Structure 1
Amino acid sequence: MPLTAHRIETEPGVHVAAYEAGDGPPLVLLHGYPQSHRCWLPALPMLAAQHRCILVDLRGYGASDAPEDDAGHTVYSKRRMAGDLAAVLRYLDIKRADVAGHDRGARLAYRFALDHPAMVRRLAVLDVLPTVEFWDLWAAELAMKAYHWTFLAQPSPMPERMIAGAPELYLDHTLRSWTLDQDLRPFAPDALEAYRAQMADPARVAAMCADYRAGFHTDRMIDAADRERGRRIEAPTLFLWGERGFPASQPDPLSIWNRWTVELAGREMPSGHFAPEEAPAAVAAALLAHFAQG
């Protein structure tokens, strides 16, 4: 499906790549780690048949700029990324949109809904729990499964240099080990090559590490403050999780999101962590049903 590409300045000197396809009510699609907007391409024909889809590369990923991190680890905070998304929507003259995010994109999506509630009509988050809640849940088995949270958040340049020693091996292991069937078949060859090239780019790897450092040092604290104040996401929210994804390690992941939302629905997907590529038809059907409401 052809995409219309945009390069949008969201902060002085920081440009974000966004891509459009389809027609109808606007729907923002946000990717996760270690990917780019390409993760949504398998589901895009179904979604774009009913929506004006806007696929965004998060700062540091895909074709977006990768600014250097700061000492306080705020450059890649989801609050700063929410500012990027607000700027993208203003550039495209969109005042209010539906928003769906997977993995890191889901963390941006719910932060955007909390910080810019007037710009979000309905929300969908895929295979994540709120950042502060996920850190609080850490125990032995989850720590083994999600080891990258502590690995990537280590001080620079240790994880960057370790990844640089075998970027393709690291990327393929990450993708393979988080799928339902433990293989790379769900990933289109061109997408897989793009993900591998991204992991071989030192600037992109530094940005990914900065993203996870922000998760520990900044996003976690912002979430904790919101939780303490009892803030909730106003937009009706859909939570989708893979049967072998990270939230599935918890007995009742839906109950955790229930504490953060005013209106919530959810279901399990027949996938591992990468539901948009492992089960695109099921994901698209669930999203279309959710965003058709209201």
Structure 2
Amino acid sequence: MTPTLPGFDHVRLPGADGVELAAAVGGSGSPVVLLHGFPQTHLMWRHVAERLAGEHTVICPDLRGYGASDKPAATGPEVYAKRTMAADVVQLAAALGHEHIALVGHDRGALVAFRAGLDHPETITHLGILDIVPTLDMWNVLQGVPAAVGYHLFLMAQPPGLPETMIANSADAFFGSFLDAWAGDPAALPPEIRSAYLRASAAAVPSIVADYRASAGVDVTHDQADLDAGSQLAMPVTVVQQDWGARLGYDAAGVWRAWAPDLDHRLTRAGHFMAEEAPDEITATIRDLLAR
């Protein structure tokens, strides 16, 4: 049985283009939407969501293509563009009656949150980003041997066919390798949660690959257009990262400051799965963001 978020309602809500998203909704107060990363589902927010629900309406969807959400066929590059996935989030919130939301994303969900902040500034009041740089910058900083940590980005950027076949043939080993390598504290991913992530990912290989493939194509195009136009994030932004700047040799805070004038940039000692490894730290950071 797949674990659930205790005390939350588990619902299906409309996104863009007729896609339905599975979401856990709980608490009361001003709305906060939490977007998960790879290779996870909304369950990654189980600790943080519980803490925030005493003060806020907390909405934790599975991204399109992940978990229990719809997995439309990638009939074109826009199907899994972060622009489309950001529209999912805005429409989901509207279906719950929320015209304005705070939005926090981790990993893939953070890329969606970044795009939502640029495309929907009238909706996103506060933006939280966990452990990424924007897509355009990501490709620019992945250089040399240290960039091998991102090998999966290059694999899933390949044309349709080979990546899907390779990953599907060894799904548990592939997805499990990231859970093992990226966790600073493996105990933060107990067996039932790890198993839920692996089951969900194995059932979603084509859509997960399509999501990543979009980040080597249409998402870059969208980011470049915003960069050329001088677009920036208008809302308060908090970024929490491992010290990727030191590892890969770039100024992480400077990269973010170019996009986000109202920036709070923080480094963490937690591993990549920081919402599960350090939920008190991440909850406190989100509360600080919402107070700005």
TM-score range, shorter chain: over 0.9
User: Counterparts of 1:262 and 1:85 in 2: how far apart (Å)?
Assistant: 24
Distance in 2 between residues matched to 1:248 and 1:234, nearest whole Å:
29
Q: Is 1:170 paired with 2:169? A: no
Alpha-carbon separation, structure 2, partners of 1:124 and 1:261? 11
1:10, distance to aligned residue in structure 2 (A): 2.1
Match of 1:80 in 2: 84
Bigger shift: 132-141 or 92-101?
Answer: 132-141
Partner of 2:265: 266
* Stretch deviating more after TM superposition (8-17 or 217-226): 8-17
Equivalent positions of 1:123-138 (< 5 A) are 123-138=127-142
Q: What are the superposed Cα offsets for residues 105-131 of structure 1, whole Å, 9 maximum, x if unpaired?
A: 011101101111110111110100010
Corresponding residue SS for 2:122: helix
Where does 1:203-214 land on structure 2 (aligned, <5 Å)? 204-214=204-214
Q: Which residue of 2 aligns with 1:120?
A: 124
Count of residues in correspondence between the two structures: 287
SS at match of 2:270: coil
Do the aligned residues in 2 keep the contact of 1:28 with 1:55 (CA within 8 Å)? yes
> SS in structure 1 opposite 2:32?
strand
Task: Give the Cα separation in 1 of the matches to 2:19 and 2:197.
Answer: 21
- Distance change (3 Å), C-alpha of 1:214 and 1:93: same
Q: How does 1:6-21 map to 2 (within 5 A)?
A: 6-21=11-26
CA distance in 2, matches of 1:276, 1:239: 13
Query: Map of 1:91-170 to 2, 5 A cutoff?
Result: 91-170=95-174
Matches within 5 A, 1:54-69: 54-69=59-74
Q: Cα distance 1:221–1:92, how it changes in 2: closer, same or farther (>3 A)? A: same
TM-score normalised by the chain length of structure 1? 0.93
Q: Distance in 1 between matches of 2:213 and 2:103?
A: 24
Q: Deviations over 1:129-182 (max 9, x none)?
A: 01001111121234301111111121122111111222111121111111225x
Q: 2:248 corresponds to which letter in structure 1?
A: S
Q: TM-score, normalised by structure 2?
A: 0.94
Deviation of the 1:42 alpha carbon? 2.0
Q: What is the CA-CA distance between 1:190 and the residue it aligns to?
A: 2.5
Matched to 1:281, the amino acid is D
Q: Partners in 2 of 1:99 and 1:141 — Cα distance?
A: 34
Runs of 4+ with deviation above 6 angstroms: none
Corresponding residue number in structure 2 for 1:232: 232
Amino acid at match of 1:34: P
In the alignment, the residues of structure 1 paired with residue 124 and residue 18 of structure 2 have an alpha-carbon distance, to the nearest angstrom, of 26
Give the conservation status (yes or no) of the 8 Å contact 2:141–2:250.
no
Partners of 1:252 and 1:158 in 2: CA distance = 35
SS where residue 80 of structure 2 aligns?
coil
- 2:3 aligns with none
Residue 4 in structure 1 maps to residue 9 in structure 2: yes
Using the aligned pairs only, state the percent identity.
35
Q: Provide the rounded CA distance (Å) in 1 between the counterparts of 2:31 and 2:236.
A: 16
The SS at the match of 2:213 is: helix
The SS at the match of 2:12 is strand
CA deviation after TM superposition for structure 1 residue 12, in Å: 4.4
Local SS of the residue matching 1:185: helix
Number of the residue aligned with 2:53 = 48
Return the offset for 1:248. 5.4
- Separation of aligned partners in 2, 1:278 and 1:107: 21
CA RMSD of aligned residues (A): 1.6
| Mapping of residues 250-265 of structure 1, within 5 Å | 250-265=249-264
